[in-house]
């Protein structure tokens, strides 16, 4: 299949391309969709055959459910069984934006979307092109990140082409994603609201609206083999470059000394570490700027692959604010290897 990439600079000016992609989606096709977090691989969420094609294109395990994307609040009520008050409060504060909420699902959601579970994850993205595309398709869109399963999530259209070119009908290229890590996932079907995946909306922000929100243990801990998880995405090794990644927890001098002592190693470092390093490095932003680290992390992991890195030592990020999401993704790409210096 030939993949057509459409450059989008303005939702109004480029509305023909968005309309064409909306028609592709309505006809059961797959489209690479820019969002404020990462690029998604979209299909009509109400068409089980189209959704099935997402799993095939990505090589995604069948038991990992998809997020359904909406472009206005009215679309929500058809897709879920109940809208708890906590959801109304969160939506009022954070939608449209990088927050996904898990609800009890309605019968309209095909079981391939929810991987057989009785809940469904819904997100109302803020990216103008994502919203215009959903509106043009006229249906809610199921969309996982648009990478091959196990690869780092794509933050540019080029990343989508690298992974899925030839497997999908079209890509809308609206430039690099601003947030850079996937949306925050919160479950509202537990006794207490539970953070399943940290992301662009921080735990601290969620707490302001829902003081009793808790962090699921799977967020920062490796789950035992065969454990029953609330969010199937937690159990897969994710975001992994080909290299073996290890996180080093220490200050600038300790970090540099360790990496400099490792023959052939690459540093995945902060900009402030660069003057102390003797070997090759890729910098994922300034030490104090979690937002910048989130924006750059996935592109850096891809870059390390391009460079042929086999052994990578990442400098441990702060875990507050968006830093929690950065650390969560890095932990998975490092298969939970952390060395305390």
Site size for ligand TXA, by CB under 6 A?
Answer: 29
**For ligand TXA, which residue has the nearest CB?**
233
Q: Which one of ligand TXA, Mg ion, none is in contact with 196 (Cβ closer than 5 to 8 A by kind)?
A: ligand TXA
Distance CA 193, CA 254 (A): 39
Closest contact distance (angstroms) between CB of 44 and Mg ion is: 19
CB 66 within 8 A of CB 57: no
- Report the side by side order of strands in the sheet with 67-69: 4-7, 170-173, 31-33, 40-44, 141-142, 67-69, 119-123, 99-104, 184-187, 194-197, 214-215
Residues in 136-195 that interact with ligand TXA by CB under 6 A = 143-145, 182-183, 185, 187
Least distance to ligand TXA from the beta carbon of 96, Å? 11
* Residues near 105 by beta carbon (within 8 Å), at least 6 away in sequence: 79, 80, 81, 114, 117, 118, 119, 120
User: Whose structure tokens read 């920062």?
Assistant: 220
**Contact pick of 8, 17, 174, 196 for ligand TXA (by CB under 6 A):** 196
Binding residues among 264-323 for ligand TXA as defined by CB under 6 A: none
Binding string, residues 66-105; x marks residues near ligand TXA by CB under 6 A: xx--------------------------------x-x---
Q: Which of 117, 243, 299, 304 binds ligand TXA (CB under 6 A)?
A: 117
Tell me which residue has tokens 């969002």. Answer: 35
Minimum CB distance to ligand TXA, residue 38 (Å): 5
Q: How far apart are CA 33 and CA 13, in angstroms?
A: 17
Q: Which of 40, 96, 180, 241 binds ligand TXA (CB under 6 A)?
A: 40
Beta-strand ranges (E) seen in the chain are 4-7, 31-33, 40-44, 67-69, 99-104, 119-123, 141-142, 170-173, 184-187, 194-197, 214-215, 244-249, 266-269, 281-283, 311-315, 338-340
Per-residue x/- mask for Mg ion, residues 94 to 133, rule CB under 5 A?
----------------------------------------
- The contact mask relative to ligand TXA for 231-250 (x = CB under 6 A, - = no) is xxx-----------------
Cα distance between the two ends of the chain: 50
**In this chain, which stretch among 166-174, 229-237, 294-302, 312-320 interacts with ligand TXA, using CB under 6 A?**
229-237
Task: For ligand TXA, give the closer residue by CB, 177 or 309.
Answer: 177
| 145 counts as binding Mg ion under rule CB under 5 A | yes
Residue number with the smallest Cβ distance to Mg ion: 145
Which contiguous run of DSSP H or E holds residue 260? Answer: helix 252-260
Strand order in the sheet with 338-340: 281-283, 266-269, 311-315, 244-249, 338-340
Measured CA to CA in angstroms, residue 246 lies from 21, 32, 267, 301 at distances of 41, 31, 10, 13
Q: Does 35 interact with Mg ion (rule: CB under 5 A)?
A: no
Residues engaged in binding Mg ion (CB under 5 A): 145
Residues engaged in binding ligand TXA (CB under 6 A): 35, 37-38, 40, 64-67, 100, 102, 114, 117, 119-121, 123, 143-145, 182-183, 185, 187, 196-197, 230-233
């Amino acid at each position: 299949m030939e993949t057509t990439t459409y450059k989008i600079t303005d939702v109004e000016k480029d509305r023909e391309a968005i309309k064409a992609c909306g028609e592709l989606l309505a006809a059961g096709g797959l489209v690479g969709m820019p969002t404020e977090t990462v690029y998604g691989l979209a299909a009509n969420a109400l068409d089980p055959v189209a959704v099935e094609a997402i799993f095939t294109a990505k090589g995604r395990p069948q038991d990992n459910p998809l997020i359904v994307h909406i472009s206005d609040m009215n679309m929500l009520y058809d897709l879920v069984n109940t809208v708890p008050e906590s959801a109304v409060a969160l939506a009022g504060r954070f939608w449209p934006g990088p927050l996904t909420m898990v609800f009890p699902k309605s019968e309209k959601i095909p079981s391939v979307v929810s991987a057989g579970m009785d809940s469904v994850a819904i997100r109302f993205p803020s990216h103008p092109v994502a919203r215009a595309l959903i509106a043009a398709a006229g249906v809610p869109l199921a969309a996982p990140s648009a990478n091959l399963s196990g690869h780092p999530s794509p933050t540019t259209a080029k990343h989508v082409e690298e992974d899925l070119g030839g497997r999908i009908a079209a890509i809308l290229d609206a430039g690099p994603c601003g947030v850079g890590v996937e949306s925050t996932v919160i479950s509202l079907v537990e006794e207490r609201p539970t953070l399943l995946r940290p992301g662009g909306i921080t735990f601290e922000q969620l707490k302001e609206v829902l003081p009793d929100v808790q962090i699921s243990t799977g967020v920062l801990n490796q789950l035992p083999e065969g454990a029953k998880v609330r969010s199937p995405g937690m159990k897969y090794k994710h975001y992994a470059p080909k290299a073996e990644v290890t996180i080093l927890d220490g200050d600038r001098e300790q970090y540099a000394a360790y990496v400099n002592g490792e023959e052939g190693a690459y540093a995945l470092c902060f900009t402030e570490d660069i003057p102390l390093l003797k070997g090759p490095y890729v910098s994922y932003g300034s030490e104090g700027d979690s937002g910048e680290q989130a924006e750059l992390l996935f592109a850096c992991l891809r870059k390390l692959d391009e460079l042929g890195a086999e052994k990578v030592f990442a400098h441990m990020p702060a875990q507050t604010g968006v830093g929690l999401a950065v650390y969560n993704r890095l932990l998975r790409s490092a298969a939970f290897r952390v060395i305390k210096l």
